[in-house]
Amino acid sequence: EADIYQTPRYLVIGTGKKITLECSQTMGHDKMYWYQQDPGMELHLIHYSYGVNSTEKGDLSSESTVSRIRTEHFPLTLESARPSHTSQYLCASSEFGSGGENNSPLHFGNGTRLTVT
């Protein structure tokens, strides 16, 4: 089973606060991702990383930042929370593909449900 952990599970915070959502995995995966998902809706890619000191922007990256200083850790920071950030944030990891393989599935954490008041 996948070992990927997200904290906190739930967070209620006021507008304008700076918040960091934590994500850690113990599988040694090089690739890590952050997705945003409103309830019952599609997942939108925010940021991803292919390894230490590597970060890339997804479709919804403009209001957040990430860092990848250690393989196992991939935190997401919102500098100034807004009510529009209210959503579920899902962290995932996967192995690198090799030899033309596309078949590495994403292993997801349980998510952080963020409410900004």
97 interacts with another protein by CB under 8 A: yes
What is the gyration radius of the CA atoms in the chain, in angstroms? 14
**Smallest distance from the beta carbon of 53 to another protein, in angstroms?**
16
86 interacts with another protein by CB under 8 A: no
74 interacts with another protein by CB under 8 A: no
What is the token pair recorded at 112?
């952080």
The residue among 17 and 71 lying less far from another protein, judged by its C-beta, is 71
62 interacts with another protein by CB under 8 A: no
Other Cβ atoms less than 10 A from the Cβ of 12: the count is 11
Single out the residue of 22, 58, 60, 67 in contact with another protein (rule: CB under 8 A): 58
Q: What are phi and psi of 67, to 5 degrees?
A: -140, 155
What Cα–Cα distance (Å) separates residue 111 from each residue in 35, 49, 52, 89, 102? Answer: 9, 18, 22, 5, 24
Site residues for another protein per CB under 8 A: 31, 33, 35, 40-43, 45, 48, 50, 58, 88, 90, 92, 96-98, 100-111, 113
